[in-house]
A = this chain, B = another copy of it.
Amino acid sequence: MTTTKKQMLLDAALTLFVANGIDSTSTASIAKLANVANGTLFHHFKSKAALVHTLYLTVKQELSAQISPQKINNDCINEQAYFIWNKAIDWSITNPEKLQFFKQITYSKALSVELRAEVMAQELSFLSQLITIGQQQKIIADYPIDLMLDAAQGLFISSSSFFIDHPQYINNQDYRTSAFKIFLSALSRG
């Protein structure tokens, strides 16, 4: 058995959080699904909040690792954006529970605004870089960058949710292309 009990607790928590919501999920039910005693949960995580916190960081890092490019260059910005966008959408389709959890926690009060902003800045710094290069090349619009990042995140979440809620369109090229076009033209120069 290579999976540790700590990891089994995180997996069980993700499943139950997505199914019932974070606050409505008891630590007892998490431990039960993970086939672990109640006390063991509190050995690995000093509180329920600490478990949520750890799970959030884990998911965020996984997404970041999945979509961040090896290297950003000055070549065709649109094409680099295309690859990042599609890797992000693919990740969410492959991991619908993780996207759902990410969505819930992003729009809830479970985490402080500061922590969310910090993780966003750290993990997704390459996005800001890409936008800045695109602005210098007069490809991306000169809107305030903080507003653009929020809009990009909003479109990623709404598009991913759409494909998860309507799986029949996941391999529909019309829908896939449209989603990217909406994203790109939202941020492009007019």
Contacts and interface: CB of A to CB of B under 8 A. Distances in A.
Contacts of A185: 141, 185-186, 188, 190
A147 B178 contact: yes
A150 B158 contact: yes
Pairs of residues from A and B, 6 with the lowest C-beta to C-beta distance, nearest first: A154-B158, A23-B23, A186-B186, A143-B178, A154-B154, A107-B107
22 contacts: A19-B109, A20-B109, A22-B23, A104-B107, A104-B109, A108-B108, A141-B181, A143-B182, A144-B178, A146-B162, A147-B175, A147-B178, A150-B158, A150-B161, A150-B162, A154-B158, A155-B158, A155-B186, A181-B190, A183-B186, A185-B185, A185-B188
A20 B108 CA distance: 9
Given A106-B107, A165-B113, A185-B188, A158 B148 contact: no
A28 to B, nearest CB: 16
Interface in A134-154: 141, 143-144, 146-148, 150-151, 153-154
Give the size range of A's interface with the partner. Answer: 35 or more
Contacts of A52: none
A21 B107 CA distance: 10
A157 interface: yes
